[in-house]
Amino acid sequence: MQEVLIVRSVGFQQLDNNLPKIKEKFPNSRLSILTHEHGVKLAEKYGDIDRIYSYPYKKRILVLAARSCA
């Protein structure tokens, strides 16, 4: 069985919109979500999510995209 990991980077309202499309695109897959520890309770309301992975939230993380200097 294929596993799809949803990395939550926006509010759960966006997941409400996207989850049906994800299920349609990957119909026989196990769906998992990665969210910070404060999002676990909200993630638990989604019956279609099979696993919830969490990470500790202490402060914002700044991620910079690397660019090729060719």
Q: Is the pLDDT confidence value at 20 over 90?
A: yes
* Nearest by Cα to 45 from 33, 58, 57: 33
What are 9-18's pLDDT values in tens digits?
778 889 899 9
Average pLDDT, the chain: 85
What are 34-64's pLDDT values in tens digits?
998 889 999 999 999 999 999 887 666 555 5
pLDDT (0 to 100) of residue 2: 93
CA end-to-end distance (rounded Å), the chain: 40
pLDDT (0 to 100) of residue 9: 79
